[in-house]
C-alpha cells in the first residue's frame, strides 16, 4: 500500500507492517480514527455490524424472504459464511476504528482470484443448510448477473460496506472509502472498485466519492445500480 490517500478526503495515512492505515480527522471527534485489515478475531464483530447494516437491504429481503420468521437466521448465515470465504481466500477486509471501537467495515474481493460464483463446496453446503436451497441459488444468480454486467477485466467488487448505525453522519464513511481507495491504488492489476447500490441514499453517497454509474441490474423484483471508481491513471 502507499503512504497516501486521496486528498479530497482530508485524511492522513501511514501504513505499518501489520499492515495498518491511520487516519486523523481534521475536526471533531478528536478520537484517533484508523483503518486496519481485519484479523480472524475481528470477523464476529464485523459480521454483527454488517447484519445491522444489511437487515433491511432490499436485495437480502428479496433473496432471503424478509417476510418469513427465519429471515434473520438466513441473513446471519449468509454474512458469516461470506466473511469466512473471503478470509480463506485472503481477500481484503478492512475495519474502521474510532479509538478501540469498530465503527465500520468494508469487504472487497477480486472475482479473478477465487471469489466469484464458483464458491467452495463447503460454502455451498453451509449455505444450503443455513439459508436453504432457493436462497443460496438466488444469491449465486445475483452475483452472476452483476459480474456479467461489469465491463472491466480485473477489478475489486465492494461486496459489503457499512458504518455502525450509532456512528453514521460523522464522516466515517469517507474515511472508509479512503482506505478502499488505497487498497485499489496499491493493486496495480485492478482497474477499479465496483459496487451494487439499491437505494438512492447510497447512490448519492457513492456519487459524492467519485463513483460513476455504468449499468442497471435487477435482482428478482429489486432494481439496482452498478457503480465504479476507476483507479487513478499515472501521468
Cβ 162 vs Cβ 95: under 8 Å: no
Instruction: Name the helix (H) or strand (E) containing 43.
Output: helix 43-54
Q: Is 24 helix (H, G, I), strand (E, B) or coil?
A: coil
Cβ 145 vs Cβ 217: under 8 Å: yes
Say which CATH architecture domain 7-189 belongs to.
3-Layer(aba) Sandwich (3.40)
Pairing of strands 33-37, 20-23: antiparallel
What is residue 228's predicted lDDT score, i.e. its pLDDT? 97
pLDDT tens string 168-223: 888 899 999 999 999 999 999 999 999 999 999 999 999 999 999 999 999 888 89
Cβ 114 vs Cβ 108: under 8 Å: no
pLDDT tens string 114-163: 555 445 444 544 555 555 656 777 777 888 888 899 999 999 999 999 99
- Cα–Cα distance list, 206 to 31, 63, 68, 173, 201 (Å): 25, 24, 31, 10, 9
- d(CA 93, CA 82) in angstroms, rounded, equals 11
Instruction: Name the helix (H) or strand (E) containing 124.
Output: helix 121-131
Q: Where are the domains of the chain?
A: 7-189
pLDDT tens string 73-114: 989 988 998 898 889 889 999 999 999 999 999 999 998 775
- With a CB cutoff of 8 Å and minimum separation 6, the contacts of 68 are none
Rg, C-alpha atoms of the chain? 17
Cβ 26 vs Cβ 210: under 8 Å: no
Amino acid at each position: 500500500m502507499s503512504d497516501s490517500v486521496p486528498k479530497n478526503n482530508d485524511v492522513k495515512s501511514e501504513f505499518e507492517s501489520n499492515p495498518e492505515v491511520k487516519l486523523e480527522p481534521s475536526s471533531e471527534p478528536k478520537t484517533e480514527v484508523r483503518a486496519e485489515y481485519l484479523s480472524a478475531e475481528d470477523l464476529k464483530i464485523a459480521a454483527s455490524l454488517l447484519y445491522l447494516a444489511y437487515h433491511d437491504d432490499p436485495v437480502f429481503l428479496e433473496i432471503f424472504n424478509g417476510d418469513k420468521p427465519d429471515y434473520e437466521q438466513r441473513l446471519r448465515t449468509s454474512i458469516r459464511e461470506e466473511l469466512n470465504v473471503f478470509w480463506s481466500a485472503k481477500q481484503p477486509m478492512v475495519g474502521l476504528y474510532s479509538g478501540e471501537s469498530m465503527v465500520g467495515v468494508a469487504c472487497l474481493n477480486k472475482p479473478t482470484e477465487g471469489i466469484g460464483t464458483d464458491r467452495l463446496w463447503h460454502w455451498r453446503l453451509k449455505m444450503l443448510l443455513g439459508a436453504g436451497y432457493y436462497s443460496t441459488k438466488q444469491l449465486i444468480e445475483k452475483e452472476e448477473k452483476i459480474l456479467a454486467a461489469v465491463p472491466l477485466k480485473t477489478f475489486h467488487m465492494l461486496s459489503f460496506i457499512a458504518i455502525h448505525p450509532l456512528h453514521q453522519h460523522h464522516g466515517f464513511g469517507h474515511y472508509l472509502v479512503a482506505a478502499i481507495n488505497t487498497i485499489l491504488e496499491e493493486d496495480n492489476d485492478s482497474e477499479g472498485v465496483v459496487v451494487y447500490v439499491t437505494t438512492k441514499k447510497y447512490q448519492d453517497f457513492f456519487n459524492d466519492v467519485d463513483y460513476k454509474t455504468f449499468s442497471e441490474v435487477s435482482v428478482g423484483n429489486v432494481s439496482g445500480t452498478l457503480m465504479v471508481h476507476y483507479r487513478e491513471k499515472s501521468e
